[in-house]
Amino acid sequence: MINTFSILQKMRIFSILCLFIYTSCAPQTQKNVLYSQKLSENETLAQYADEFLKKYEGTKRDEASTAYLALLQGNYLISSYDLNILQLKQDDSNNIIPHVESITNNLSKHLSNYSKTWGESITYNIQYPYAFVDFSTALSIVDSEYRRVGVFTKLEELKDSLKAKVMQLDKNNFPYTLQIYGIINQLITLCENPIGSLTTFNSTVNTLKMEISKIFSLAELEN
């Protein structure tokens, strides 16, 4: 009787070897060159093209691909956080509740980027360790590129804008608003420093979002 599992194993090993030989030997445009060209064609990211070209020159695995995607993500996040900051500044009241949904959605997108990079890098690095970096390297690249475009500077500005609002509130009259403010700060902290395992990270994010949902309607009544 033919051992189907053994045949599938051999086919998988053969396909991996073929991919390794192809990626090692086939003439290819270096990814740092390819993505640097793409950056130069992007009006808001063109300023980073030359530095990107130098930083990822000679890298053998997916560093340049991960970095390029992080730059695109970072550019989107900056625009999103800028809008949140502008809306908070234009609101003459100290009521942060009308802005909570938008802010939470943007922070969730930020955290989702980490989660996706984290999970995919674990899977791909196990399957193709010669082609993909491990998860800690991938997250480090994302952190580096987010810093390059100023994502964390925007997060600090967002924190300051929220703090300026809630400091004017009577703590006795706005307990639920202040609870939501505290939870948002926890989400921001995770955006600045994604810690734990992938499982605990995702669990923490989901728990914090659920906590906001539970008390949001009560916070609305305070304002």
Which residue ranges make up each domain of the chain?
Answer: 23-222
Rounded to a whole number of angstroms, the distance between the first and last alpha carbons of the chain is 74
Q: Which two tokens stand for residue 175?
A: 């307990």
pLDDT-derived band at 3 (thresholds 50, 70, 90) equals low
Residue 60 contacts residue 128 (beta carbons within 8 Å): no
Which amino acid is located at 172 in the chain? N
pTM, to two decimals = 0.85
Nearest Cα residue to 148 out of 58, 45, 221, 29? 45
Longest dimension (CA), the chain: 78
- Output the pLDDT for position 58: 86
- Output the pLDDT for position 18: 52
pLDDT per position as a tens digit, 27-62: 445 888 888 899 899 999 999 999 999 999 988 889
pLDDT per position as a tens digit, 99-126: 999 999 999 999 999 999 999 999 999 9
- Output the pLDDT for position 49: 92
